């Protein structure tokens, strides 16, 4: 089949890591008989340089008309870049918010997987790590406390700030459906995380999630309070498959989960809308400190591209092949500098892409 992918290299290491992801996808195309067409889109600092804004309407339209979007990262050195002496809505990262909003990407998916080869980088004790962990955090991205009405005012001579946490049942239902759909492609367990012992929004969350669960008889559902989940992630991370949660809880828990993998250069992510359309990007930023040196780790971006094949295009075997190739390269002892340990062979960004592409098998 033919797939039309909008590719946003962005800034810093973005172009280097996206190049490697496309290299691996091209090899997948050769081996499995697909054609991936790329349309390059400017976003972030490079768009400011070219057009004066971090995302043009035309760029957004190109992304919207594609089958899916692959993003590197945007942004520069916040302290000393010409991109930052402007209003916040004209900075590189504003492009990110604009594209998420413009494409209605309400579901954020972040896997946290521990490779055996990287266990030493995991801050947890070996007896807690056990056989490792492989989970996905499904975070609602466009509602809740971060988007509710807020104000600060003086009440009876005391400064008082108010933030509002609102969810309606439709917002909860659509993210729950996404979580159950993804659980169907995994170990078929959803842990819905809330604070239903205190919050009305969480009680509605729980009720709607239970309704959605009825349409997925093969998936088991359990509920967990957010404070307990924060503890369970560092006490027994192996118990989780898909964690489904609202915006702020997901913000915190997904960072906690990524920390216990111990390697920022390995973490993929996706943001999806109601259809199968998504924007796929590494969890890390543009790493301007190492840009242009061919030392960045492209694996997070390559794994993000694998997520695209799995979740947007339903190409599960092709995604499996990409993930297996990454695993094989690590097992053979090839590591980029950020995940280097003694006894491994240190390779650069482009070489890592070559090695993974060479190991794509049907
Ligand atoms: P960062 O993730 O870019 O870098 C943090 C540290 O991790 C740096 O030392 C960097 O060298 C290293 N690192 C990150 N990715 C790596 C990789 N693939 N391989 C090897 N090492 C890697 O975070 P930061 O330094 O806080 O931010 C840099 C810029 O990125 C800022 O302008 C920030 O706003 C932007 N940013 C963009 C996104 C995005 O586009 N989605 C996300 C986060 C930050």
pLDDT of 255-264, one tens digit each? 899 889 888 8
Beta-carbon-side half-sphere exposure of residue 123 (alpha carbons within 13 Å)? 9
Is pLDDT of 214 > 70?
Answer: yes
Q: What is the distance in A from the centroid of ligand 1 to the CA of 13?
A: 9
Q: Decide: helix, strand or coil at residue 176.
A: helix
**CB of 76 closer than 6 A to ligand 1?**
yes
Q: Output DSSP code: residue 148.
A: S
Question: What pLDDT band is residue 121 in, cutting at 50, 70 and 90?
Answer: confident
Question: What pLDDT band is residue 78 in, cutting at 50, 70 and 90?
Answer: confident
Q: What mean pLDDT, rounded, does the chain reach? A: 95
CA distance 122 to 259: 8
**CB of 44 closer than 6 A to ligand 1?**
no
**CB of 45 closer than 6 A to ligand 1?**
no
Is pLDDT of 178 > 80?
Answer: yes
Lowest-pLDDT range of 27-36, 86-95, 163-172, 302-311: 86-95
**CB of 96 closer than 6 A to ligand 1?**
yes
**E strand map for the chain:** 2-10, 35-40, 68-73, 107-113, 134-140, 150-155, 158-163, 189-194, 220-225, 242-245, 268-272, 278-282, 334-335, 345-346
- The token pair that represents 235 in the structure block: 């006490």
CA distance 166 to 247: 11
Strand partners, 345: 334
**CB of 72 closer than 6 A to ligand 1?**
no
CA distance 31 to 319: 12
Is pLDDT of 80 > 80?
Answer: no
Is pLDDT of 197 > 80?
Answer: yes
**Burial (CB count <10 Å: 0-12, 13-18, 19+), residue 218:** exposed
Report whether 66 contacts 4 (CB < 8 A): yes
Is pLDDT of 316 > 80?
Answer: yes
Q: Output DSSP code: residue 40.
A: E
Q: What is the distance in A from the centroid of ligand 1 to the CA of 291?
A: 10
**Burial (CB count <10 Å: 0-12, 13-18, 19+), residue 5:** buried
Is pLDDT of 322 > 80?
Answer: yes
- The token pair that represents 51 in the structure block: 């057009």
Q: What is the distance in A from the centroid of ligand 1 to the CA of 217?
A: 40
* Number of Cβ within a 10 Å radius of residue 50: 11
- The token pair that represents 95 in the structure block: 């492009």
- Among 286, 289, 297, 339, which residue has the most ligand 1 atoms within 8 Å of its CB, making it the best to mutate? 286
Nearest CA-CA partner of 268 in 221, 214, 321, 306:
306
Which residues have C-beta within 8 Å of that of residue 255, sequence separation ≥ 6? none
CA distance 218 to 361: 30
Give the catalytic positions in this structure: 146, 195, 227, 251, 255
- Among 285, 297, 338, which residue has the most ligand 1 atoms within 8 Å of its CB, making it the best to mutate? 285
- Average pLDDT of span 135-163: 94
């Amino acid at each position: 089949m033919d797939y039309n992918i909008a590719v946003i290299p962005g800034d810093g290491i973005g172009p280097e890591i996206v190049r490697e992801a496309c290299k691996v996808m091209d090899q997948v195309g050769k081996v499995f008989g697909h054609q991936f067409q790329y349309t390059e889109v400017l976003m972030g600092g490079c768009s400011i340089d070219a057009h004066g804004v971090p995302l043009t309407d035309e760029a957004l339209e190109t992304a919207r008309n594609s089958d899916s979007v692959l993003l590197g990262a945007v942004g520069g050195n916040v302290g000393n870049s010409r991109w930052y002496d402007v209003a916040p809505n004209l900075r590189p990262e504003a492009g990110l918010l604009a594209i998420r909003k413009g494409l209605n990407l309400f579901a954020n998916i972040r896997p946290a997987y521990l490779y055996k080869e990287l266990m030493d980088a995991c801050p947890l004790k070996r007896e807690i790590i056990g056989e490792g962990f492989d989970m996905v955090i499904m975070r609602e991205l466009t509602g809740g406390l971060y988007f509710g009405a807020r104000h600060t005012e003086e009440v009876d001579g005391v400064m008082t700030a108010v933030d509002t946490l609102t969810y309606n049942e439709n917002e909860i239902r659509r993210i729950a459906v996404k979580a159950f759909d993804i659980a169907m492609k995994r170990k078929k367990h959803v842990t819905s995380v809330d604070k239903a012992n205190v919050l009305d929004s969480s009680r509605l969350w729980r009720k709607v999630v239970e309704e959605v669960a009825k349409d997925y008889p093969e998936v088991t559902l359990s509920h967990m309070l957010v404070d307990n989940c924060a503890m369970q992630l560092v006490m027994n991370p192996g118990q989780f498959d898909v964690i489904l949660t609202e915006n702020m809880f997901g913000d915190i828990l997904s960072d906690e989960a990524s920390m216990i993998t111990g390697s920022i250069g390995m973490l993929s992510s996706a943001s999806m809308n109601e259809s199968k359309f998504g924007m796929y990007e590494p969890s890390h930023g543009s790493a301007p400190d190492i840009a242009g040196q061919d030392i960045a780790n492209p694996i997070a971006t390559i794994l993000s591209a694998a997520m695209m094949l799995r979740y947007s295009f339903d190409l599960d075997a092709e995604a499996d092949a990409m993930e297996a190739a990454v695993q094989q390269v690590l097992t053979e002892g090839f590591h980029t500098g950020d995940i280097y340990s003694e006894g491994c062979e240190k390779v650069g960004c482009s070489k890592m892409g070559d090695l993974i592409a060479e190991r794509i098998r049907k």
